[in-house]
Amino acid sequence: MLSRLQDFLSRHRRKFIVTGVLVGGTIIAAKYAQRRLVEFQEKQAREFFERTRRMHHFESTEKTCNQVILGMGEEMCQAVLRECSTDELLEQLRQNPKNKLELWEDMKIVAFTRLATYVYASSMLVIALRVQLNLLGGYIYRDIMTEQKQITDELKQQYLSLIRHFITESGIRDLARYIRSQVIAVIKSMPLSEKLSLNDMEQLFWSLQMAINADSRRDPNSRMSKYLLPSQNPSHSPLLQQMYNETLDLLESEDAIGVCSHNVSRGFVLACDAIAEAMGQTLQHLPPGEVTKQQESQQPLKFNQPASSSSTQNLDNATSTSTTTVAASENNNLLNINLVLMALAKLIPIISGITSRGFDTTARPHNLPTQLLTFYVVAEKTKTLGANVYETFSSA
């Protein structure tokens, strides 16, 4: 019996060996695959938790960023109002001086300067704070993941205080003065009696935007860092210097320039909308018969006759327009606002009025500075820029 078994094993030895190898290999392969599957699942879980953690941290950073923007936006608006104040001019106009026309020419320059400064300064501030806070958030996230403490509270404060140069030092002042020089070049020669439509205003803002962007050395779009940050880092910290240099590179990148240019263009559109709304309110003062007559004739609606150098009556009317609250009217006739022609002398109080108050979220309806900041904060391109900065520095 034993000899038969030995003979059987001898004859089928190769089969047993091959079978053993196959079975053993299968078992080993199954265990290896199982181990690799567990490792893959663990890796996937770690990546999922890391993405979730990063997403929560990014959302927290975004929420903080929005709060900081709105808080500093209020300070920025006050700085613009101080730099482009019309209080002294209005006080002189109330005294009915002999140089009233000269004062109205000054009002024209200041009103357009303040509006354009709000448009550019709001966009620049939002972009700068998006870049700064998301860059800082990326560094903090890396500290959390590596269990390091490179970003101290003191370094945070020093880094974020760099933007104070724009608001409290020379940033807004230099920006407003540069914009004023371009405003003078574009609209100085326009007479106060010239009548403008909404389309004319859009073309005027486009010309002003092109003039402001034309100087490659002082263009607020491509030279944001010139106005936003000090010329050099006041601290000697190597890490802060690195973050300062990275911020400069980001603000001068094509992405940031493109976002700022887009925001500025949209900002002037918002300004035209605000002017149109104010013009629509002014229409309520017209008698229904005159509105009907203008509709039937299909002629542009003219608010006043050309002003002569010897007469300033229309300027007095324009001054009252800027300070009068228009109540609801019984005039329900529909007019095409695009057909309305209004003298520049009457547009100046409107432009000055929509920018005469600072950032105020409680006011209804929102004034132009509030609309600009609110729009820039939620603009998709601005948010995408911030997300890209966070993604880059949180995973570096």
How confident is the model over 26-68, as pLDDT tens digits? 888 888 888 777 776 666 666 666 677 778 888 888 899 999 9
CB atoms within 10 A of CB 360: 13
Within-domain flag for 36: no
**What average pLDDT does range 357-373 have in this prediction?**
80
- Domain contains 270: yes
Q: What is the pLDDT of residue 285?
A: 56
| CA distance linking residue 281 with residue 283, whole number of Å | 5
Mean pLDDT, rounded, for 264-271: 94
CA distance 224 to 125: 9
Q: Residue 322 domain-assigned?
A: yes
Residue 62 structure tokens:
């975004």
Per residue in 173-203, pLDDT (tens digit) is: 999 999 999 999 999 888 988 888 889 999 9
What's the pLDDT at 314? 45
DSSP 3-state of 298: coil
More confident residue, 1 or 268: 268
SS3 content of the chain, % helix, strand, coil (to 5): 75, 0, 25
Which is it for strands 301-302 and 195-196: parallel, antiparallel or unpaired?
A: unpaired
In a domain, 207, yes or no: yes
Rounded to a whole number of angstroms, the distance between the first and last alpha carbons of the chain is: 74
Task: Identify the pLDDT of residue 99.
Answer: 86
pTM of the model: 0.80
**Does residue 23 belong to any structural domain of this protein?**
no
For residue range 149-165, what is the model confidence (pLDDT) as tens digits?
888 889 999 999 999 99
Given this model, what pLDDT does residue 321 score?
A: 38
* 47 compared with 387, residue with greater pLDDT: 387
Q: Give pLDDT, residue 188.
A: 87
What per-residue confidence (pLDDT) applies to 373?
92
Q: How many domains does the chain have?
A: 1
Q: 363 in a domain, yes or no?
A: yes
Instruction: Evaluate whether residue 101 is within a structural domain.
Output: yes
Range of the domain at 102: 41-394
